[in-house]
Amino acid sequence: MQEIRSEKEWLDFIHARLANPQDNIDIRFSGWPNLEVIIEGSRFNGTLPTELMRGFVEFQDEFYRAYAELRYKTKNIQRLTIDDRERLEFVFKIEDNCTKSSADETDLLNTIVENLGKIFVNMSGEEKLIGIALLVFALTGYKIFEKFSDNNLKAKEIEAGNESLRLQKQAVVEAIAASGRVPALATDFKHHAETAFRAIFKNAIGAESISIGDQSWDKKEIAEIIQKPDKSREKKELSLPLYIEGIRRNRGYLTLGVIDEDDRSFPMRVESNMADPDETTQLFDAFKNSRKIPITFTAKIIDGDIKAGSFIELAQK
């Protein structure tokens, strides 16, 4: 088994394998990568404001969802085991002078590598390699946003004496793109990573600059990233058989936690004037008996995923 202890070792490994593809990927990450997020501004002098703490929590939850989708083919993080959660947990350390947070990512990557056969099913060794390579780049924030400061990046790299490493990384990305064999799962993971990092950006209120690994964004670029709209938003009326995993009574409405046939979960609001007493009874019965019930509802859909629903009526079976 080959240990990967630095970015250079990882890039050398990818170059060698792209030139000579093999089905077996027998590697283990050790001490690298280590995610580093630096947030500068008057509010971030060795402190962690409440809003930013919320951003890190959202960041963690999004990576839970990303792994659940990779490993279990569902965005429902309830599918994660206790061991999954322990190995996937980011523990950030805060340093002085700015909010400088770092977290070891090796457990997450090693968990993915150990399950490559279950994640990238029926794929060649080259496709698995490209998949795990893109996951590593996503986790380290490399080109995670379409808009990033290439000038700042280049200046920072040259100053650090890592210009050759930057060029090598760029060459690897270009080789992967040219191969035309990028697994859709890896692309989906990158979208999750972008959502996760944006959670930190939008909650770093008042930040003058943010750096992730070897990339940095100034105040103007941070605002552009936060304001970037979702790729697609729509509302659509759907009729689906759903499991109800939870019901909460509120004043004037119910909140359902529902799961569709693809094991995707989302909340649904049931206004008191939309469900008659018989329908309400049927909803509670379906919940108690863990059985599917067909529901017609208005779905809020973002990038193809149902994010929330509003109850209309029970559908005809």
Q: Where are the domains of the chain?
A: 2-227, 233-314
Residue 269 near residue 286 (C-beta atoms within 8 A):
no
For the stretch 264-277, pLDDT in tens is: 888 999 988 889 99
Instruction: Give residue 317's pLDDT.
Output: 58
Mean pLDDT of 115-144: 84
At 22, the pLDDT band (50, 70, 90 cuts) reads: confident
Q: Is residue 288's pLDDT more than 50?
A: yes
Which pTM was predicted?
0.67
CB burial readout 18-35, b (16+ within 10 A) else e: beeeeeebebebeebbeb
Mean pLDDT of 187-195: 86
**Residue-averaged pLDDT of the chain:** 83
CATH class of 233-314: mainly beta
23 compared with 130, residue with greater pLDDT = 130
